[in-house]
Amino acid sequence: MQSEHAGYPARAGATQGALVLGKPEVNYSEADESFAELIKTKCLDERIASRPSVARAFESALEGALATAYGIQTNNVHARESATTTAHLFLQRSLYRINRLKLFWYDDLSNYDNERSSYLRAVRDRIEAAWQDWELAQLEVEALRREDVREALLRRAAEDVSPAPSAGGLYFQHEVGEVGYRRLLAIASLDGLVEASQLSRTLGGVSNDIHSVMTRLLVEEYGGGKPQRKHSTFFIVMLTELGMSTAPEAYFDLVPWEVLAAINHSFLLSERKRFYLRYVGGLLHTESTVPAAFENYRVAAERLGMSEAARGYWELHIREDERHGRWMLHDVALPLAAKYPGEACEIVFGYDQQKFMSDRAGASVERAARAAERAAAQTEVVGEGRCDCQ
């Protein structure tokens, strides 16, 4: 992976990805590449035990990023924002690289040699501990404990099924051009091409009515076992029409940290059965809000002249997720709240946390689309002004 494409902002007078805030420079771009290779190292735990120096550069970057993203104090607001954005990106990319080993990508089997590495587990736990504490501070958790869970879930779902148009939604409906739309698809492809994979990790265990509903949801996401009906197959049609790569993770380097955080959060909740109620709350939010969000993208695709087939992914989700949202509310979330009255507030917490993280991710996608359009416009202007005379 080339560092110039790794999404790290360049600064004049500094190595790309390097931060200088009264501390030694940390080149996150190089550390990211180093970690990507480290994960592939044969017998990683034994190698690090015998030669700790092989992980030294990554460890140094990790320490700096954790302090910068979740604990740095500086009076320079611009420097702080730039530093934290870069640190967040490095941490979420590192966490994603570990989490993706939990899914099978039908690639070289040697890529999974370190899937149960104690070193990688320790890195994951170290990032998650600091990150989740930081995320927790973004919400008024105690206030959620005082809400009536049933009323809170019914109200939230009703509001989010038909929300008022947002500035970001209106941008995609009326303004985004093909360049920005392509950036949207590039970012969305990271999750869209491995649809519902985290949901599949929650289905082990005793069968019951709630489990059956979750299984039906997963089966529909996977097209009932028919490849041509899989949701990701519809996503591939969109990419293909625009001449974009359909390989999983092809556009990983374009994905903002906010989007990676939402994906990593889903990995965490689906992996920890103690967080099952939070996972259900988050999934309820997703299924309730997707129809309105995807309607913005469908309108954009239609306005830009995309074919009916290339709009199929948005239309399929709009149609099916309206039904999935009702399933999640009435057949999963509310029954679980009745079954676990002492912990039911965790469903509301999961819903609100997913809403916060999804809104944050959506805003980052809008910014990325706008930035891509600005860059394309500037390139066009420069091209028009270039003199080719000899």
Backbone angle region of 41, left / alpha / beta, with phi > 0 → left and psi within -120 to 50 → alpha = beta
Task: State the maximum Cα–Cα separation within the chain, in Å, rounded to a whole number.
Answer: 79
**The three-state (H, E, C) secondary structure of 114-178, written as one string:** CCCCHHHHHHHHHHHHHHHHHHHCCCCHHHHHCCCHHHHHHHHHHHHHCCCCCHHHHHHHHCCCH
- 32-66, pLDDT tens digit by residue? 999 999 999 999 999 999 999 999 999 999 999 99
Over the stretch 85-95, which tens digit does the pLDDT of each residue have?
999 999 999 99
How confident is the prediction for the chain on average, in pLDDT? 90
Q: Is the pLDDT of residue 71 over 90?
A: no
Q: Is the pLDDT of residue 184 over 90?
A: yes
β-strands 26-27, 18-19 pairing:
antiparallel
Measuring CA to CA, which residue among 333, 325, 317, 326 is closest to residue 279? 333
Concatenating the DSSP letter of every residue in 211-247 gives: HHHHHHHHHHHTGGG-GGG-HHHHHHHHHHHTT---S
Entry pTM? 0.90
CA–CA gap between residue 345 and residue 278 (Å, rounded): 9
H/E stretch holding 199 reads helix 197-200
Residue 220's pLDDT band, with cuts at 50, 70 and 90, is: very high
Q: Which of 119-133, 185-199, 336-350 has the lowest mean pLDDT?
A: 185-199
d(CA 386, CA 390): 12
Distance CA 126, CA 123 (A): 5
Q: What confidence category does residue 390 fall into, taking pLDDT thresholds of 50, 70 and 90? A: very low
List pLDDT tens digits, range 94-106: 999 999 999 999 9
Domain with CATH 1.20.910.10 in the chain: 142-375
Q: Which fold has domain 142-375?
A: Heme Oxygenase; Chain A (1.20.910)
Contact 192, 238 (CB under 8 A): no
Model confidence at 25, pLDDT cuts 50, 70, 90, reads low
pLDDT tens digit string along 235-272? Answer: 999 999 999 999 999 999 999 999 999 999 999 999 99
* Residue 322 near residue 146 (C-beta atoms within 8 A): no
In this structure, are residues 347 and 278 in contact, taking their beta carbons and an 8 Å threshold? Answer: yes
* Amino acid at residue number 348: V
Q: Residue 179: helix, strand or coil by DSSP? A: helix
Residue 8: DSSP 8-state? P
Per-residue tokens: 285: 């939010």
Report, as an integer, the average pLDDT of 162-171: 94
With CA atoms as reference, report the closest residue to 283 among 186, 166, 200, 162.
200
Residue 27: strand pairing partners: 18
| Digit-coded pLDDT (tens) for 352-388 | 999 999 999 999 999 999 999 999 999 877 666 555 5
Confidence category of residue 12, pLDDT binned at 50, 70, 90: very low
Residue 64, number of CB atoms within 10 A of its CB: 23
**Tokens 């771009």 appear where?**
29
- The percentage of residues in the chain with a pLDDT greater than 70, rounded to a whole number, is 88
Pick from 113-117, 286-290, 345-349, 382-386: least confident: 382-386
Question: How many CB atoms are located within 10 Å of the residue 108 CB?
Answer: 9
Dihedral pair phi/psi, residue 164, rounded to 5°:
-65, 145
